[in-house]
Amino acid sequence: MDEKKIAVIGAGIMGISALRRLSENKKFLLTCFERNYDLGGLWVYTDQTENDVYGRDVLAYIRKVSDQCDIRKYIKFNTEVQSVKPVSENIQDTKWLLTYGDNRKKKDSHVEEFDAVVVCNGNCSIPNYPVIDNEKEFEGLVIHSIQYRRPQLFAGLNVAVLGASYSGMDICHDISKHAKTVYLCHRGSKLPTLLPANVIEKTSGFKSFTSSAIILDVNDVIKIDAVIYCTGFRYDFSFLPDGLLEVGQNNVVCNLYKYILPPQYSTIFFMGLMRLYILFFPYGDHEALFIKAMLEGSVCIPTYNERITVIDDDSKRPWLYNSHWEWDKELASIAGNYEPFLPVLKTIRDHILDVKAKDFARFRLDVFKITGPDSFEIV
């Protein structure tokens, strides 16, 4: 196999996974572009980036893996990719032109050609703000969950949390220890879990603001001092060619083969777009191994029409919490260079969700000892 110049965009969990596996092949000449000053992606917390030291435990692990695998040498820090363009449009094995620059310097720009690109720019960095009528009239505090740091800020306040997924539930319970009242607002069914005594659940979204209150969809008026939007994040693919990616229902990228490869190109890959709910580190490793197999040629990349067929079939699947277990099995069977997730991991995940659903406030992350491929015990 000839040498290949490969660009990796982003040095978060997925980018580090890609660098770790691709660096095992010395024919791959790697360059990773990271816009931050350090690797770690979402876990690099500084006041300047609306993050802080609360992520250091995970960041320490990422740094340790990176140092053990000696992959820092491939990363250009403080470097933002401005555009990615195919040298030959709609040609399967096209090379790619990347325009990038040092974000500490005005108008810094360079263009470089690569044989392949692996996009790992993440999906938890651009806050998704809902559009609520009269928000500017509200005189209290309004933040997104990405800006949340310390619960003490909400001591004695009446707080409305919009959204009851993982961030919403975590923040709700965290601030309930300090806030006067927390209104947990969401448009889903009533939650089965027990809630702290000062948390009031409202199965309704926000309709509009007044200067000191929110009006819910059901026209309830709630006097509040602060709002925390736990409304997720949105993708930023502005550096890619128009039309390369399509974002469909539930904010899912819906036009990639196995959520990794577009049908019209065989030299650009995406990581982290299969919307999983756990196992991000092994998930990244499995995607990286899949991409490595395709770049090495040990796996035949399906034709355009074959990829279109798979994309269409996958789009018809119900989007459930268990979808990714089957997806991982399918990915492993195609790549042939790794074993899929052990069934015991699903058993552990299901146990955690069951405990969490019954009493989130008392929930703790148990320590598990795996005793078999489909069994575990709590230690």
Residue type, 112: E
Region for residue 82 given its phi and psi (left: phi exceeds 0; alpha: psi -120 to 50; beta: otherwise): alpha
For the domain 4-125+235-335, what is the CATH code? 3.50.50.60
| CB 274 within 8 Å of CB 6 | no
**13 three-class SS:** helix
User: What are the DSSP calls for 206-225, one per residue?
Assistant: EEEE-SSEEEETT--EEE-S
pLDDT at 269: 98
Position 227 scores a pLDDT of: 97
Write the DSSP assignment of 297-362 as a string of letters. Answer: TSSPPPPHHHHHHHHHHHHTS---TTHHHHHHHHHHHHH-SSPPPPHHHHHHHHHHHHHHHH-GGG
pLDDT of residue 108: 92
Which pTM was predicted? 0.84
Residue 59 CA from chain centroid, whole number: 16
Question: Rounded distance, CA 334 to CA 200, Å?
Answer: 48
| Full pLDDT tens readout for the chain, 379 residues | 789 999 999 988 899 999 999 999 999 999 999 988 776 555 565 544 444 444 458 777 778 888 888 989 999 999 999 999 999 998 999 999 999 999 888 889 999 999 999 999 877 678 889 999 999 999 999 999 988 888 999 999 999 999 998 889 989 999 999 999 999 999 988 988 888 899 999 999 999 999 999 999 999 999 999 999 999 888 888 999 998 998 877 677 889 999 999 999 999 999 988 765 557 788 899 999 999 999 999 999 999 999 999 999 888 776 555 677 888 999 999 999 999 988 888 888 888 778 877 777 666 566 777 777 777 777 6
Rounded to an integer, what distance in angstroms lies between the CA atom of residue 215 and that of residue 217?
7
- The residue among 210, 198, 194 whose CA lies nearest residue 155 is 198
pLDDT reported for residue 273: 86
Domain 4-125+235-335 and domain 129-229 have a common topology: yes
**CATH superfamily name and code, 129-229:** FAD/NAD(P)-binding domain (3.50.50.60)
| Region label for 95, one of left (φ > 0), alpha (ψ between -120 and 50) or beta (otherwise) | beta
- How far is C-alpha 117 from the geometric centre of its chain's CA atoms? 19
Q: What angle do CA 224, 146, 7 make, to 5 degrees?
A: 160
What Cα–Cα distance (Å) separates residue 317 from each residue in 41, 223, 321, 324? 31, 42, 12, 11
Radius of gyration, alpha carbons of the chain: 22
For residue 77, the 8-state DSSP code is T
- Structural domain boundaries of the chain? 4-125+235-335, 129-229, 343-378
